[in-house]
Amino acid sequence: MTAQDLEKLLQEMSLEEKVGQMVQLSPAVYGKDSVITGPAGEVALTEEKTALIGSLLGTGDPEVIRRIQKEAVARQPHHIPMLFMLDVINGDQTIFPINLALGCSFDPDMAERTASIAAREASAAGVHVTFAPMLDLVRDARWGRVMESPGEDPTLNARIGEALVHGFQGENVGEPGRVAACLKHFAGYGAPEGGREYDNVELSEQTFRNDYLTAYQAAVDAGCRMAMTSFNTLNRVPSSANRVLCRQILRGEMGFDGVLISDYAAVEELISHGIAADRREAAKLAVEAGVDIDMMTTCYLDNLPDLVRSGEVPEALVDEAVRRILRLKNDLGLFENPYKDADAAAVQNVWCCDAFRKEARASAPETFVLLKNKENLLPLDVDTGDGSGGGEKILFAGPYLDSHALYGSWSFPNHPEEIPTLRERLEQRGDGRFLYARGCGMLPDKTVLTDHPLSDLTPAQNVEAVDAACRLAAEADRVVLFLGEHIRQTGEGASRTSLRLPEPQMELLRRVSAVNRNTIAVLFTGRPLVLREVEQLAGAVLCVWRPGTEGAQAILDVLFGETEPSGRLSMSFPRAEGQEPLYYSRFQGGRPRFSASDPKAYRIGYIDEDYWAYHAFGAGEGYTRFSYSPVSLSAAKLCGADPDRAGTDASGAAAQITAAVTLTNTGRRRGTEIVQMYLRDRTGSVVRPVRELKGFRRVTLDPGESREIPFVIAEPMLRFIRLDGTFGSEPGLFDVYIGHDSTTDNSAAFALV
Ligand code: BGC
């Protein structure tokens, strides 16, 4: 449809029809099954109103979608097709590592590939929009949804976020195999006080703009077609009623011109927030704030027509929302083909096809972070060199040995029971030297967690299971324990005050490591954990997050050294829960501590615990070692505001500086390093962080090989929100750090003039 035709259609639509476009419900209103991801309110709709609804969420079944679409197009007075939206977060049927793990890969290209596969699978099912990427900056591991975000760093999140948008949408959302992306949750949802789910957010204007908006902005710049409001309150106004946030910042300043949808029931929740007296007022506030679609309530449907007729809401507000929604439908090509790619036969060839599973297997090791590897316990030494091709007896145990739930929350595989378990993959290797034990219990995947112990075994059965594992551990040369959080311990509504492994698993680790010191812990988690005791007990610790469909195979690839774990932490791991929120990009403070030997009293931090992370942002090992040369700079002065002055400037300042290191693989295996470049602005009109990630590169080298790794530094990289609220740089001294992680001391200094 041309833009004029679209405008003509809009003019012809009745007010009720227009409001219908602004409503999203679940297929339940059509009597169809769907995934319910929030409280299911009572929605009683007349036939007439049902016919006007503009979009549905929660089904990825191509037959259901085709059937509903056919009826919808026939019934809608202007035959306007529906939008089908779904949470395709970590993949559709081929499940990839969770977003936090994708952050750890520092590999936007890989992230883009996973998103484009997810888009292929979802669009073949008939889905038009995915509620992804989630780009909330996360700095408090107690919050359950940290697993959905790439992590704590604005730049890393921005690079992963824009890659995901490109992966989902391609060049044109109307093309086959593409879906529209929806950035969420706007804004600041990642910073609830105390890490408590759905709680208030307090962010200074500086922190909000410098850190929290960065990744959302990158997604907008990448052309993301939709955005979702967040549940939280910011500056005492819930996002779905926050005009400053939605109109002034998102649309005005950030340049977003797509469709803004509320989060699940967030319009009606304005009442509970205490900002609207009733559903009518909630609808008024949300539409005034610029929320185009009301997800999962009928506040708009029941109240907007009357609000417009009574003159309380200008019809122009409804028109602008509907215009955006129709434009998206048109760009998806739905007026020509309302089913887009929905094809029940095609999905059989697309879903979980070999090529996609191969990508799932290859991507996961890039996200695994090796946190400890004492005496090179890993990779498992299969060949002892005695000509037998091996010989070590290895015990594999723990609750994840037999688990199919190797994926994270927000994954909805149709056949979770077909996801291979670790034991199944180990048995396929057909190695008689492997021993197996359950070790301890874990509740079934679907259990809604409350306060019960996380084991399905009685205390006595647990003791028996541990005893059995210990007997085998005593015979084994090495032990691999597959441990971790229950799948429901992270995700929405899963905040925790404890960041520890479930107690039955700790008991297993304590007892087994006492009889076999070559114990390796493989950890499934959706958040940073407190690992001090785990690392005292286990000789090696490999964090595999929630790796997805091919998780078991990918883990074995890494354990047996067929590939290496090449992820680095995208979120700091704390020493104790009391350190949260925790992130590397902090302020030095007026009474700093620089090292553990500095006194603690009257200095920044705690008296009973160190200030720094247990494992820092960027940390992680591989199976080889790397050395870094000192940082070299191509110039000592960088030209500020006017780069044209470069070269002609009397001070000899350059338009850009190249900072470089020579990286050498000093180990005996080919391996990958993630070279990280941080900048520090020594003084500013406002306090500047101790350092900020500004560049990174994955580099693979053969043993003995060296390579120069350059990073270009230009003035725009040095900009921030200054004291007067403007965005720009300030002259002065800067440090460039290039090294293995966020604690590197390898640095050089330059001046911005
Ligand atoms: C979540 C969103 C999600 C939506 C739809 C909400 O509860 O906060 O992230 O996209 O449900 O399922």
pLDDT 10s digits, 648-704: 556 789 999 999 999 999 999 999 999 999 999 999 999 999 999 999 999 999 999
* Residue 40 reports pLDDT greater than 60: no
Ligand 1 centroid – CA 262 distance (Å): 9
| Ligand 1 surroundings by CB, under 6 angstroms | 37-38, 57, 87, 131, 184, 263-264, 492
* C-alpha separations of 674 from 107, 372, 374 in Å: 9, 17, 21
Nearest alpha-carbon partner for 713 in 633, 652, 612: 633
| 12 confidence band (pLDDT: 50, 70, 90) | very high
Q: Ligand 1 centre from 230 Cα, in Å?
A: 9
Cα–Cα distance, 214 to 196 (Å, whole number): 23
Determine which residue's CA is closest to atom 8 belonging to ligand 1.
Answer: 263
Q: Which amino acid is at 366?
A: E
Element housing 658 (H / E)? strand 656-665
Other Cβ atoms closer than 10 A to 391: 14
Measure the CA–CA gap between 501 and 450, rounded to whole angstroms. 16
| Whether 649 is catalytic | no
Residue 20: pLDDT over 50: yes
Cβ-contact 113, 147 below 8 angstroms: no
DSSP tag of 257: -
Work out which ligand 1 atom sits closest to the CA atom of 295. Answer: 5
Per-residue CA distances from 228 to 18, 134, 210, 262, 293 (Å): 20, 9, 20, 5, 9
Among 369, 417, 354, 424, smallest CA distance to 547 is for: 369
Which secondary-structure segment (H or E) carries 743?
none
| Burial zone of 51 (CB within 10 Å; 0-12 exposed, 13-18 middle, 19+ buried) | middle
134 in Cβ contact with 146 (< 8 Å): no
Residue 146 has pLDDT above 50, yes or no: yes
How far, in Å, CA of 367 to CA of 672, rounded?
A: 12
For residues 301-321, give the mean pLDDT: 98
Mean pLDDT of 113-125: 98
What pairing do the DSSP bridges indicate for beta strands 720-721 and 727-728? antiparallel
Once rounded to an integer, what is the mean pLDDT over residues 451-474?
Answer: 90
In the chain, the N- to C-terminal Cα span, in Å, equals 53
pLDDT higher than 70, residue 226:
yes
pLDDT recorded at residue 338: 98
d(CA 376, CA 233): 48
Task: Determine the distance separating the centroid of ligand 1 and the alpha carbon of 730, expressed in angstroms.
Answer: 40
Rounded Cα–Cα distance for residues 667 and 368 (Å): 20
pLDDT for 643 beyond 70: no
Distance CA 673, CA 657 (A): 23
For residues 334 and 79, what is the distance between their CA atoms, to the nearest angstrom?
11
Among 92, 136, 211, 263, the one annotated catalytic: 263
118/113 Cα distance (integer angstroms): 9
Sign of CA dihedral 720, 722, 726, 730: negative
Q: Is the predicted pLDDT of residue 388 greater than 50, yes or no?
A: no
Q: Which residues pair with 483 in a beta bridge?
A: 523
Please check the confidence at residue 258 and state whether its pLDDT lies above 80: yes
**Ligand 1: which atom is nearest the Cα of residue 131?**
10
**The pTM is what?**
0.96
Mean pLDDT of 437-462: 84
Given a cut of 90, is residue 375 above it in pLDDT? no
Residue 382: what pLDDT?
Answer: 62
Mean pLDDT of 375-386: 74
Do 129 and 83 touch, CB atoms closer than 8 A? yes
pLDDT at 156 over 70: yes
Average pLDDT over every residue of 573-601: 95
- Could you tell me where the DSSP H helices lie in 125-181? 154-169
Would strands 129-130 and 180-186 be described as parallel, antiparallel, or unpaired? parallel
As a whole number, the mean pLDDT across the chain is 95
Helix (H) or strand (E) holding 488: none
Q: Residue 452: what pLDDT?
A: 65
Report CA(90)–ligand 1 centroid distance (Å). 14
Q: In what order do the strands lie in the sheet with 540-543?
A: 369-373, 540-543, 519-524, 478-484, 394-397, 434-437
Residue 193: strand, helix, or coil: helix
What separation in Å is there between the alpha carbon of 264 and the centre of ligand 1?
6
**Out of 28-37, 121-130, 736-745, which region has the weakest mean confidence (pLDDT)?**
28-37
Phi, psi of 238 (to 5 degrees): -60, 145
Tokens representing 352 are: 């979980």
What's the pLDDT score for residue 447? 79
R_g over Cα of the chain: 27
Task: Please compute, for residue 57, the number of CA atoms within 13 A of its CA located in the half-sphere on the CB side.
Answer: 24
Q: Which atom of ligand 1 is nearest to the CA of 37?
A: 12
Residue nearest to atom 12 of ligand 1 (CA): 37
User: What amino acid is encoded at 531 in this protein?
Assistant: L
Mutation test residue for ligand 1: of 35, 37, 138, the one with most atoms within 8 Å of CB:
37
Tell which phi-psi region holds residue 177, choosing left (phi > 0), alpha (psi between -120 and 50) or beta: left
Mean pLDDT of 25-44: 72
Q: Which of 134, 139, 186 lies closest to 161 in space, CA to CA?
A: 134
- CA-CA-CA-CA dihedral for 739, 741, 747, 751, to nearest 10: 110
- What share of the chain has pLDDT > 90, as a percent? 89
The closest residue, in CA terms, to atom 2 on ligand 1 is: 263
Q: Distance (Å, rounded) from C-alpha 745 to C-alpha 74?
A: 66
Are 288 and 282 in contact by the 8 Å Cβ rule? The answer is no
Ligand 1 center to 116 CA (angstroms):
21
Q: What is the model's pLDDT at position 44?
A: 67
- Mean pLDDT along residues 108-112: 98
Indicate if the pLDDT at residue 390 is higher than 80.
no
Rounded to whole angstroms, the Cα distance separating 276 from 270 reads 6
Q: Which pLDDT score is estimated for 31? A: 76
- To test the pocket of ligand 1, the residue of 55, 131, 146, 148 to mutate (highest count of ligand atoms within 8 Å of its CB) is 131
Residue 646 pLDDT > 50 = yes
